[in-house]
Structure 1
């Protein structure tokens, strides 16, 4: 997470340089690439052991980070738009694949009750990295510039890979058979989305939740383009948003999330996030997207929406949804989950950003778009409640100690 959040403001400032009108094109390219990579990941997961899958995947992204350094050193000659398309696509793929693969690995190690207890704590570690990353960017971007940040990001990702390989090796030495290749079809991720009710519910909920987040992101891109004229200022603005978002996520994981998941279950956490999004969008409908004296503390409501929706997504929805994947077979856990969190997610980005551009062309106000988001949040709340009733979701099992702790 430190690696990703070091380069996230770099990606976002490129989006802010061109505004929301270019986001549909960015996301369309990402979606097409994700579809092309789906069978590739299916082959890797089917044929390679877990340790090899982790190693090859992370090393590929480390090499790519280093390859982008000379391109950023020549950004003024290449142009923000041309470099922005390539880097935006790559970072979007990097984020989704690396994070999805990490949580699939976590779901291999822990069972359902354990996941409800420890996933918020693991996510808290991720949030610590997500806070440290923006702090690193904030400290270095003014003195080193943008390009050297990619090297720092590559180093932290290499450290993360080392820890994951160590954990996987410990599991293998303990006799855990979960490290074996998943097997099955290379197209299993797509097939399971069609045939598994649980995955269909998860895909719809993810699309609805991502729709709200992407709506806020697209509107904020226009705000950034209008208020910040250079790449350093835009990078600093998006860096601050990430910092506030992750502080909120940490606060949730330290207080509400773990208690809610243990006492009420993972589904309850999904419902709460949808209700929070509903309230934030309703506030924009009532007060508008700008600052509200005494309420927004100097930030526009759009920024508050972005911080709130992302903070609850990372601090509550993510550990809750990943805990549910401990109750499905390994092929679903890796291939089905990966397809939803990569290709389907980016399909939602394409649809939402295209809709925002269309609404803007038709003269629909920000408050009007937020009104549509309120309806989306109502539907997301209903879908979240249905996930726990999916017939193919295994019942909770009795808590057992993690395999790595056995003598």
Structure 2
């Protein structure tokens, strides 16, 4: 059993090395996240435009189709994770996704009126987005022990935002020259490059395990006693990443239903998705009303993304580190949903596009800078199988079920001439309470 030495006030971290000695792995982790988000943000504005083109009143059907596709995709992911080594899961998933993108590119190039290709792409990207991001974070929580993860996960969202900005810039400048087909091929290449970083990180982790094995006999009793019991989940045999996780493809779902802690995370994500879907429907309604031209719609979606990613990078560079230390994990999980609840109230009082832009940007920036790192820290102390299977179940099936349920709820409330915005605010308030409970449980 290879032990990770816990972080200490002098700056040593859980690998027994300084952060400088681990800088290469930390940078590679950031590149992994950055490349993934660059690929996604190449494609996101196009997906949003396709959603509007299909009719704002039909969005609930696309959300339901996305949920159904997620129910198909997750057992396939669970089957793969049960049979290939952990270090190979991300290369397999991203490699197959690159092939899917090549298929969509061919469909767009060969079909004269690719309406259904666009609809299928909307559903596929919505499923892929959650699964890929969840998998990437699973790799990081697997490779880095809790002591390092608590310090670097905030910076990982900076890499994500920088990657998102890069993807948006590439899309804006290249779409005229290479078209949507070229963007899909470029995104596929970025995914393959991201998967290569995961291979490096697992190799680095095995090398660290080998180093600790050689040094184990020289460790003093005092140092061994100094290891916190909470880190025992991070203790692994050096060859664990070479073994499949095993178990059933449905093990993630059963783990969530068995564990009160994982059920709490699932409830948090369900409320997150539901409240965000209410805001998403409002975005589509307002964009369709204010900007009827599809080209202008794509530009508006891209501009919103640029605002979000730029603000996220700025906050991380100047404020996030010290702020996150002060508020702790409770603040990471509860502040943003509380702000979203207030934002829903403002939208109910002043349902204008400019008000929506402020609320939407604040929500997404808060989710990137606070909620996402807090969510991922919740998984640093769970067994490896839960880091991949239970986490993927929560981040995909639970999340998309929240989307689908909220989509139909929003439709029914619109038909009943009710106030869906206020209902969304209630969901956001419940989301904040759930985040507070989870943060207290994690402490």
The TM-score, its normalising length taken from structure 1, stands at 0.87
Q: Could you tell me how far 1:224 is from its partner in structure 2?
A: 2.4
- Which of structures 1 and 2 has the larger relative contact order (alpha carbons within 8 angstroms, sep 6+)? 1
Instruction: Indicate yes or no: 2:333 matched with 1:277.
Output: no
Which of 191, 194, 199 matches 1:160?
194
- Runs of 4 or more above 4 Å deviation: none
1:249 touches 1:316 (CA, 8 Å); kept in 2? Answer: no
**CA shift in 2, pair 1:265/1:52, >3 Å:** same
1:307-361 CA distance string (max 9 Å, x none): 2211211221111110121011111111111001001111111111111212222
1:25-77 CA distance string (max 9 Å, x none): 11111111211222222222222112221111010011111111132235652
Secondary structure at the aligned position of 2:247 is classed as coil
Instruction: Indicate yes or no: 2:48 matched with 1:12.
Output: yes
Which of 60, 63, 66 matches 1:27?
63
Q: Could you tell me how far 1:120 is from its partner in structure 2?
A: 0.7
Q: Could you tell me how far 1:178 is from its partner in structure 2?
A: 4.5
Which of 357, 369, 377 matches 2:428?
377
Structure 1: gaps of 5 or more residues: 292-299, 396-407
Instruction: Indicate yes or no: 2:278 matched with 1:215.
Output: yes
Partners of 2:150 and 2:345 in 1: CA distance: 31
1:2 touches 1:131 (CA, 8 Å); kept in 2? Answer: yes
**CA shift in 2, pair 1:263/1:116, >3 Å:** farther
- 2:259 is matched with 196
Alignment of 1:8-407 (within 5 A): 8-73=44-109, 77-79=113-115, 82-175=116-209, 176-179=238-241, 180-286=243-349, 288-291=350-353, 300-364=354-418, 368-390=419-441
Q: Could you tell me how far 1:256 is from its partner in structure 2?
A: 4.1
The number of residues matched between the two structures is 378
The TM-score, its normalising length taken from structure 2, stands at 0.81
Partners of 1:305 and 1:139 in 2: CA distance: 28
2:279 touches 2:424 (CA, 8 Å); kept in 1? Answer: no
Q: For the aligned residues, what is the CA RMSD? A: 1.9
Partners of 2:44 and 2:367 in 1: CA distance: 17
Partners of 2:410 and 2:357 in 1: CA distance: 17
- Structure with larger Rg: 2
